[in-house]
């Protein structure tokens, strides 16, 4: 199978499962044995067609008298995405896509694909999309566009949707618990992980942007735990938590372990961290990441976050991080299928869960201890309103600070962080 065939397989599979697109992609790439460039093309085609789903459906409707069956629609999406968004030379985009149709569709359908793509190749697709409604042109659900426009205004909602439609950069966090990083950190001369083309960022001294991600997970630096792949936004909650060596820390909803291992790094591997999560299988990823990164102070706890008091039996902590399950609307650039999966009523359900988790966590904080609440959501119901409700029902907790990251403004994934102190 070549890159386009694998992408078509993924587009056919995605609507029939509730699994995440990146999980499907990883599984398919593992079995396809593609070259690094072809792996990159498969990823671009699959994720790109998911991001631009609404815009591609609009373009198909402009050229077709009736809606094609799903398989043919996916073949057309692949061709149109290459023409309209990748700017692939017309002959390559059309010929390769028609070859796909010959393998998977009927002769009549193949003729239709050929005729439609040849016509599209000579059309002004940008002008055509310019006539669509803005949420269609920018390929976001109408309800989400309206919600964001009401709160943000047209300029910011447009910037956010444009942001979400761009392939995200890859960032790594340097791990100072592993040599040579440990040696360099002592002299304050942190450099990039060896064997990887990277550049420094203004976000954080530990965060470097990967210039060429191909083969990143096959490098010696990865195997030796010298870095962890992590967006800059995810460091903010831990920096606000500010864990110190020797402390007793609880990380609620810890999997897959990015924040947990950064907490351990800030604690210099001295003290104890309880990494709690409701999923035992996901805790396995926490353990795996701890092993690779040389983290030695983490103990896992499989427990529903709303029942932690029962699981921990009166144990108290110096600092508690609640990285709550959320709508993930701040990370839509990294989750290309999320916009089509989430529904508006889910936001209210998640906010109720977040408030329960925060209330349970507050009971586990020592007097004068620190509690930090974080999400990767942009929605007020999950952020500011949860904080307001929490403060209103917990007189023994004082809000110290909040911080919000808005992707087009801050140049990284969206996030919200609130820090409380137990009276």
117: alpha, beta or left? (left if phi > 0; alpha if psi -120 to 50): alpha
Write down the number of H helices and E strands in the chain: 21, 11
Closest by alpha carbon to 229, among 150, 313, 163, 168? 168
Whether residue 376 lies in the annotated active site: yes
Q: Which helix or strand (DSSP H or E) is residue 135 part of?
A: helix 134-137
Residue 140: C-alpha distances to residues 113, 144, 271 (Å):
26, 7, 45
Q: Supply φ then ψ for residue 194, to 5 degrees.
A: -65, 150
CB neighbour class for 257 (10 Å; exposed up to 12, middle 13-18, buried from 19): buried
Q: Which residue's structure tokens are 């290309």?
A: 336
Instruction: Beginning with the edge strand found earlier in the chain, give each strand of the sheet holding 317-323 in spatial order.
Output: 298-302, 272-277, 248-252, 317-323, 365-375, 415-422, 397-405
Bridging pattern class, strands 227-229 and 365-375: unpaired
Residue from 303, 326, 376, 412 carrying the catalytic annotation:
376
Which DSSP category does 83 fall into? I
Closest by alpha carbon to 59, among 119, 143, 146, 110? 119
Q: Copy the structure tokens of residue 317.
A: 């902590």
CA-CA-CA-CA torsion for 311, 317, 323, 325, nearest 10 degrees? 20
For the annotated catalytic residues, the residue numbers are 376
């Amino acid at each position: 199978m070549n890159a386009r065939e694998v992408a078509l397989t993924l587009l056919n599979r995605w609507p029939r499962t509730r699994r995440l697109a990146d999980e499907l992609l990883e599984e398919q790439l593992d079995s396809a044995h593609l070259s690094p460039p072809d792996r990159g093309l498969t990823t671009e085609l699959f994720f790109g067609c998911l991001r631009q789903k609404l815009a591609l459906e609009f373009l198909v409707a402009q050229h077709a008298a009736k809606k094609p069956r799903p398989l043919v629609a996916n073949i057309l999406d692949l061709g149109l995405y290459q023409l309209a968004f990748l700017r692939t030379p017309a002959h390559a985009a059309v010929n390769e896509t028609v070859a796909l149709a010959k393998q998977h569709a009927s002769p009549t359908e193949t003729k239709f694909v050929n005729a439609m793509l040849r016509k599209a190749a000579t059309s002004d697709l940008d002008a055509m999309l310019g006539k669509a409604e803005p949420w269609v042109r920018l390929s976001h659900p109408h309800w989400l566009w309206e919600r964001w426009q009401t709160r943000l205004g047209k300029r910011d909602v447009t910037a956010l949707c444009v942001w979400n439609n761009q392939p995200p950069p890859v960032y790594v966090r340097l791990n100072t618990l592993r040599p040579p990083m440990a040696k360099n950190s002592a002299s304050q001369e942190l450099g990039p992980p060896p064997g990887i083309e990277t550049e420094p960022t203004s976000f954080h001294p530990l965060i470097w942007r990967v210039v060429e991600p191909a083969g990143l997970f096959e490098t010696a630096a990865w195997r030796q735990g010298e870095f962890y792949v992590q967006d800059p936004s995810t460091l903010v909650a831990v920096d606000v938590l500010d864990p110190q060596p020797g402390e007793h820390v609880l990380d609620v909803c810890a999997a897959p372990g990015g924040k947990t291992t950064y907490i351990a790094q800030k604690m210099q591997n001295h003290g104890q961290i309880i990494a709690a999560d409701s999923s035992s299988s996901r805790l396995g990823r926490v353990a795996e990441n701890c092993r690779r990164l040389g983290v030695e102070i983490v103990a896992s706890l499989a427990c529903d976050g709303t029942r932690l008091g029962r699981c921990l039996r009166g144990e108290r902590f110096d600092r508690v991080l609640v990285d709550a399950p959320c709508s993930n609307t701040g990370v839509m650039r990294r989750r290309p299928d999320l916009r089509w999966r989430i529904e508006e009523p889910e936001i209210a359900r998640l906010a109720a869960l977040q408030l329960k988790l925060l209330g349970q966590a507050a009971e586990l904080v020592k007097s004068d201890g620190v509690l930090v609440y974080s999400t990767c959501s942009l929605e007020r119901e999950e952020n500011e309103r949860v904080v307001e409700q929490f403060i209103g029902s917990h007189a023994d907790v004082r809000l110290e600070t909040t911080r919000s990251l808005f992707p087009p403004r801050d140049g990284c994934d969206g996030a919200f962080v609130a820090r409380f102190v137990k009276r």
